Structure 1
Amino acid sequence: MNVARPPTVLGDPVAAYGTGLQVTRVHQAPDSGLGGTGDFLWWHGPGPRRIGPLRVPALAAALVPDLEPAAGTALLATGTPYGDGLLHRAAGSASAAAWLRDPRPQAGRLVAHSLAAAARALRALHGVPLPPGPQPPPPPGVERLRAWASGTGPPAPAAARLRRHAREMWGGDRTERLLGWADDAVRPSGPGAPVVPLHGWASTGSLVPPRSRGRVALLTGEDLGAGRRELDLGWMLGDLVELAWSSPLHRAAGESAKLLSVTALQRVFLGAYDADGSEGGDHGPAGPVYDPVAVGRCAVLRVVTHMQDFATYCEWSDELLDYLAFTAELIDEEGRRAVPRGVS
């Protein structure tokens, strides 16, 4: 487990941003350049609309493996309590999500490398056996989605408005399908779909490539939980699906020989997860270890969670109506665009 040691004083941040759910500040580490595991300290804290501090759930934290000896694998940078938030250590000051807004071809290659490293880290985490006794709960993102879709979530006016529009645009059937997929993602559905430890928020926003040297970091902590492995895979791929839809740069990538397309990034991520830590090969001897249909459905859960989180913890925007139309398409196709042909 890559754990940050909290310094006495963090100093001024080099980057800061946030929502009503969570704020992020990135600081230069006091021992920068002294050969530590990373030169930046990432602080995640509660946003103004979130109640209570951020903490790592103890049951799940005990299961996070130390990947320091595993070359080519992202470090699971587990948060350490600092004030009412969590402090993570990483070798970069910008997330993969930020690098994906950079049009230079080398930025896409850096993200691809980081996605492969993250996939290997998730495969290692998913391979940790759950001990007998009390199990970690489902990741909180899925719980927020279920509460919003069922009408039991926080009484935020924009979230309630979004749900009313969802009933009109989606109809009851799509909502029921979504809730069924959420239930299936956090419980076993037969011997081929065991419950495993989950990162819970594997995304390009929590993935930090190194700035110049060092390891890729996957910021890990408050969203840890348990469920089907497909939830973590779909969560990362859902980020990329949303990017392909929303970003003019990545819509153009499909027409450019210089830019990596979202489909290429999806292949890199799933190929590295299938390869189980090796640099070559595609699948294990029995084929992929995940259910591609479940991965696609979990990618839909990710996009819908992002949409409803924005309504709950930010403000209303008419862009949410576009998201409702987009997510209706994703639900109808069961998120198949998240899993390119030939990787499963």
Structure 2
Amino acid sequence: MTAPELRGLDVLAEYGTGLQTTRVLRAPDGDFLWWQGPGAQVGGPLTAPAARLVPRLPEGGGAALLTVPEEVGGGLLHRVAGSASAAAWLRDFRPGARTLVAHALASAARALRALHAVRVPGSEGPALGAPPGLTRLRDWARGEGELRERALSLWGAGRMERLLDWADDLSPETGTQPGTGPGTQPGAEAAGRSLIHGWASLGALVPPARHGRAALLTGEDLAAGRPELDLGWLLGELVELAWARPPHDASDLQRVLLDAYGPGPDPVRTGRSAVLRIVTHMQDFATYRGWDDELLGHIAFTAELIDEEGRRAVPQGES
């Protein structure tokens, strides 16, 4: 599809920040098109150079569709069966909405496990480094700005260093390749790398509107790292949701995700990944939306999470 053809379609939703803009459009055949482009503070088009590594998962296995985008109009275009993300469905109080999200999370977990089994290419393939979100977090932690200074004053330098150590551990720039045989458990190797989604999130998970498969928008953030990073990214969002909307309890959804993924991931690293996700969300908000006094509450909340190493993200220490 071309950019002029996109402009002729009905726009169902449009939102974004200085980092990224999203438009949801209705396709002529009844499906939905999600177009993601660069925000005002990001230069250049969005690309997905490693998208060819994404496996095509059969429909009968219960896994979400890992959508491989088409580059259109300086952004990435995904074709899916839904017009609202799992994040939006969790704000919907109609009966069945939470069940829909639970099914989508389970299918996303199965898809992530398949993605994590893909061997990270060597020098012959696309260069895969740390996920962009972790790169932004590292730059923020070593940089300057009001949020960083306020966080340091409450956290102390020790907590900031712990975050950086966790980021290095979870996205090693070098390491042994994970096994790819049928008995391999992703995340079980001591220092290996997997192909990871890089931004597995409730906003990128799209349940079907009526029929079809849930979809996980995939491509731009594909990276090399430990599988726990993708799991922690989703679990961290659920933890943050429960904190922001008391008495909301997301432990049931956390268990759905972990049970569907299956054994292998290290629960300690998974909890730490959840903390990294919440801090990344906090610093992205400050960078791409601007300072808000509500961030003071996030700073205090994340101090607690750092101290407990994100254990509340992994119910009963299971993974």
Change in 2 beyond 3 A, CA 1:120/1:97:
same
Shift of 1:78: 1.7
Q: 1:310 & 1:221 partners in 2: Cα distance?
A: 22
Of 288, 305, 315, which residue of structure 1 is paired with 2:290?
315
How far off its partner does 1:131 sit? 2.7
Query: Deviation at 1:343?
Result: 2.8
Contact 2:175–2:193 (8 Å) recurs in 1: no
RMSD: 1.6
Moved over 4 A (4+): 5-8
Q: Closer, same or farther in 2 for the Cα pair 1:221/1:332, shift >3 Å?
A: same
How far 1:189 sits from its partner (Å)?
Answer: 7.4
Match for residue 252 of structure 2? 264
8 Å contact kept, 2:3–2:72: no
Counterpart of 1:303 in structure 2 is: 278
State the TM-score, normalized to the length of structure 2.
0.91
Aligned equivalents of 2:134, 2:269: Cα separation in 1: 14
Check if 1:172 corresponds to 2:157. Answer: yes
1:25 is aligned with what amino acid? R
Distance 1:183 1:70 in 2: 37
Residue 148 of structure 1 corresponds to 140
Write the distance in 1 (CA, Å) between the matches of 2:87 and 2:268. 25
For 1:112-123, what aligned pairs fall within 5 Å after superposition? 112-123=102-113
**1:9 aligned to 5, 10, 20, which one?**
5
Check whether the contact 1:75–1:217 (CA below 8 A) recurs between aligned residues: yes
Counterpart residue number, 1:332? 307
Q: Report the Cα offset of residue 6 of structure 1.
A: 5.1
2:81–2:212 contact (8 Å) kept in structure 1: yes
Instruction: Map Cα deviations across residues 115-145 of structure 1 (whole Å, 9 max, x no partner).
Output: 0000000000001112332641111000000
- Give the match for residue 168 of structure 2: 183
SS at match of 2:61: coil
How many correspondences in the alignment?
302
Task: Compute the displacement of 1:193 (Å).
Answer: 4.2
SS at structure 2 position matched to 1:9: helix
Identity of aligned residues (%): 61
Match of 2:71 among 76, 81, 96: 81
Q: What is the TM-score of this pair, normalised by structure 1?
A: 0.84
CA distance in structure 1 between the partners assigned to 2:285 and 2:274 by the alignment = 17
Partner of 1:156: none
Check whether the contact 1:209–1:216 (CA below 8 A) recurs between aligned residues: yes
Post-superposition CA distance 1:306-331 (Å, at most 9, x none) = 00001111111001111100110110
Query: Structure 2 stretches of 5 or more lacking a match?
Result: 177-188
- Residue identity in the other structure for 1:23: T
1:337 maps to amino acid? R
Q: Give the drift of 1:291.
A: 0.3
- Which residue of the partner structure matches residue 280 of structure 1? none
Quick one: distance in 2 between partners of 1:45 and 1:189? 33
Q: 230-239 vs 182-191, which deviates more?
A: 182-191
Alpha carbons 1:6, 1:80 under 8 Å: kept: no
- Aligned pair 1:29/2:17, yes or no? no
Q: List per-residue Cα deviations over 1:58-98 (Å, max 9, x = no partner).
A: 2x322200014443110001221111111001100000000
Amino acid paired to 2:252: A
